[in-house]
Structure 1
Amino acid sequence: MTMTREPAPNTGAHGTVAPHRILLVDDHAIVRQGLRTILDREPDLCVVGEASTANEAIGVLEQTNPQIVLLDLKLSTGSDTEGLALCADLTMRRPELRVLVLTTFLDDPLVVEAIQNGASGYVIKDVDTTDLIRSIRAIARNETAFDSRSANAMARSIQATPEPLALTQKERNVLQLLAHGMRNREIGLQLYVSETTVKFHVRNILRKLAVSSRAEAVYEASKIGLI
């Protein structure tokens, strides 16, 4: 976990304007260092903190009060999409927070899920530096931001007819363990993911099965042959 002092705000002809405060969340220190080097060159952008895990991100969020989060989806070896649950948690805590997903993963459902969980944009890590900065400034203006591949993924998902019970493999695994009466913590230990990630999967299961409780989810899933 790394925090920095905020530099003095920029002063222009029309007064003083504070730079946009940015939190970097990525499990690779070298990636965070590279992003910091790029972003700190921009007078209107200021990296105020870094985090490598979901728990660290929550702590740094409270201490640095960023306006923007650059978030990778893979924050541990146990899950490729732990960042989705963190995105939902961060934006629930701070509804005004703008999250830009910056990741190596791209598939149509993943882009849609990121937006459904509060992200304002989705960019692949090999994006050009100029385009990355443009995306950050766009979400700072309360706009959305996608690179060309993410935008195409969103378009395909909007045009496609969704399957009503398209549970992911991870959600099916969680559902199987719910059927055995396991609690979130026990499921996390079994699947080597955090309890927050389990809660995220359970919420998605309830939403997709159109039920309001774990017991109802198990009952409905058993009726239609999911378990």
Structure 2
Amino acid sequence: MATLTPPDAPGTRADAVDIVLVDDHAIVRQGLRSILERERDLTVVAEASTAAEALAVVDRVRPHIVLLDLKLSASSDVEGLDLCAELAQRDPDLGILVLTTFLDEQLVIRTIRAGAKGYVVKDVDTTGLIRAIRDVARGGSAFDPRSAAAMVRGLHAPPVEESHQLTPREREVVQLLARGLSNGEIGAQLYISETTAKFHVGNILRKLGVSRRAEAVYEATKQGLL
């Protein structure tokens, strides 16, 4: 359940960095809140456990930073990636900092392309996390050493066949494209926004090397993706 800190809560400051925590585990959010609110310039103004809650809360409180886990449900390891893209589409200036257990070269790159300003893994120490938040709040980017190394490896990795990089979500979208559904209808089927559905369709067209939805379906069929 989403929780909000009242605007006039004791300890808040006009010049504080306002943070929204997005993680499906309440104990993780409580721990992060306890750590971050020891810093005079950091204020946790809200929490959310699901993508839908996060979208509503961020729209309401307009934070400087969203501290986002990529795994927001048992059914998907990277549901937070869709949320990242949606938040960045709504507000390109929002400081989205991913804090997650997953460390994969291509996942780091995909997350940054989706609009995140930084990526740190959950074994980062307190000092590193706070530094990353402040760096993103100043308009910069932030990576812990492991994430930075993973991104460099991903950027220098030999190219692989694009179709092999279709995510499980993109494969779901391809199947719905084959049924002739619009972006809005795809969004309704997958419980995502039309904007996020459009984002996925664009990625699919790029990965399959086509420019039209019908061509994407044809190419996906040829490659055994349908």
Q: CA deviation at 1:84?
A: 0.7
Decide whether aligned partners of structure 1 residues 186 and 60 sit closer, same or farther in structure 2, where only a CA change above 3 A counts: closer
The correspondence of residues 22-61 of structure 1 with structure 2, limited to 5 A, is 22-61=19-58
Per the alignment, in what secondary structure is the counterpart of residue 216 of structure 2? helix
Q: Alpha-carbon deviations, 1:160-209, whole Å to 9, x = none?
A: 13224133351335434533446525853xxxxx3349825433212212
- Equivalent residue for 2:3? 2
Q: Which residue of 2 aligns with 1:83?
A: 80
1:111 CA displacement: 0.4
Shift of residue 9, structure 1, vs aligned partner: 5.5
Equivalent residue number for residue 206 of structure 1: 205
CA positional deviation for 1:151: 0.7
Question: Aligned letter for 1:141?
Answer: R
Distance 1:218 1:126 in 2: 41
- 1:147 shift after superposition: 1.0
Aligned residues: 216
Question: What residue is the counterpart of 1:168 in the other structure?
Answer: 166
- 8 Å CA contact retained: 2:176, 2:186: no
CA distance in 1, matches of 2:155, 2:80: 23
- Amino-acid identity (%): 57
Q: Deviations over 1:124-158 (max 9, x none)?
A: 11110111001101111111111111111100011
Contact 1:85/1:196 (<8 A) preserved: no
Q: Which moved more, 1:170-179 or 1:213-222?
A: 170-179
CA distances 1:20-60 after superposition (whole Å, capped 9, x unpaired): 11010111111111111111110111111111111101111
The equivalent of 1:139 in structure 2 is: 136
Counterpart residue number, 2:186: 184
Structure 2 gaps, min length 5: none
The question of whether the paired residues in 2 share the 8 Å contact of 1:22 and 1:45 is answered with yes
Q: Unpaired segments of 5 or more residues in structure 1? A: 11-16, 189-193
Cross-structure match for 1:130: 127
**Residues of 1 paired with 2:192 and 2:94: CA distance?**
23
